[in-house]
Amino acid sequence: MEFVRYDVNKYSPRQMVTLPLVLLLIAGMVLGYTTLTTGLPLQPGIDFAGGTAVTVFTSDSRETIEATFSAYPLLSVGEGIGNGKYIKFGPMDDAQYQSLSALINEKYPDAKVDQIGETFGETLQGQAFFAVLLSFIGMSIVVLIAFRNLVPAGAVVLAAFSDIAITAAIMQVIGIPLSLGTTAALLMLIGYSVDSDILLTTRVLKRKGKLEDKLSGAFRTGIIMTTTTLSAIAAMWVVSTAGQIQIISEIASVLLIGLFVDLMNTWMLNAGILKEYVLRSGKK
């Protein structure tokens, strides 16, 4: 547990905030470029872009299924338990969809077909964006009321925003699509982020003692809390990936990425801002 005994006090505030801010800038560039080229900051899944999902139980290999549906906008072929296959298609016109339906009925008569229209997908996009925005606004108000000071409250909000932005950029780079499940994971990440940031801010601003002792104590407690959560989510990721439960695996992946990002943003970005704020207040 050497990391738990890591000395958070040996770095200056400027050194602490440099890496998180550079990564936040890079994340903004990635998300901005994706928005300019696709219209969305992340590659949408069929929940938001629209498409067709087909669930079948067949012994056919992934390669065979890909060859069968090569004439259609095939997105992915997921494999589940008991020869289960989850096939995703992108948006298509009515004629192509009718042709696809006929082929599915011919090859896999017991298949379950779910279709999401582009209009409905756009509606879900708007609702997801509103949910994230409302979460940020509510979180910001609560934090501002709790600390009644713009600097620590702003540091908490900035750290939470950085968590979401950097995690979303990593999702885009490694190919995790934005779906209802991964949106829920991003919302959960806001809660995890605020939890660790409020722990840090409360220990530093509302407890008596030396700044170094308060930072070290908050760091030890926060690391233990986060690593416990990481262990549970890692176990969920292993089970869902081994069982090929794609949506749970994607949610766990987003949470794992986000929690590691949160460790950096809490104990470098937020801690650096708070350290500078306390040192300046002491000089005054």
Instruction: Dump pLDDT digits (tens) for 196-211.
Output: 888 888 888 887 878 8
Residues 86 and 165 in one domain: no
pLDDT at 1: 43
Q: How many domains are contained in the chain?
A: 2
Residues 234 and 105 in one domain: no
Residue 45, sorted as left (phi over 0), alpha (psi -120 to 50) or beta, turns out to be beta
Which of 101, 116, 131 is the last residue before a domain boundary? 116
Q: Does 5 map to a domain?
A: no
Q: Does 2 map to a domain?
A: no
Q: Are 160 and 17 in contact (CB under 8 A)?
A: no
Residues 260 and 151 in one domain: yes
Task: Look at residues 226, 113, 248, 133 and name the one whose alpha carbon lies nearest to residue 179.
Answer: 248
pLDDT at 50: 73
* Residue 121: count of CB within 10 angstroms of its CB: 18
Q: Does 8 map to a domain?
A: no
**Percent with pLDDT over 70 in the chain:** 92
pLDDT, tens digit (0-9, with 9 covering 90-100), for 253-280: 999 999 999 999 999 999 999 988 888 8
Boundaries of domain holding 77: 51-116
Binned at pLDDT 50, 70 and 90, residue 222 comes out as: confident
Q: Are 255 and 247 in contact (CB under 8 A)?
A: no
Binned at pLDDT 50, 70 and 90, residue 165 comes out as: very high
Q: Tell me the two tokens of residue 45.
A: 């899944």
Residues 171 and 241 in one domain: yes
pLDDT at 283: 47
Mean pLDDT of all residues in 134-156: 83
pLDDT at 96: 83
Binned at pLDDT 50, 70 and 90, residue 284 comes out as: very low
Residues 210 and 130 in one domain: yes
The mean of the pLDDT values for the chain is 83
Residues 277 and 155 in one domain: yes
Residues 174 and 70 in one domain: no
Which of 116, 137, 165 is the last residue before a domain boundary? 116
Kindly tell me if the per-residue pLDDT of 82 is higher than 90: no
pLDDT, tens digit (0-9, with 9 covering 90-100), for 18-61: 999 999 999 999 999 988 887 778 887 777 777 788 888 888 88
Which of 116, 138, 171 is the last residue before a domain boundary? 116
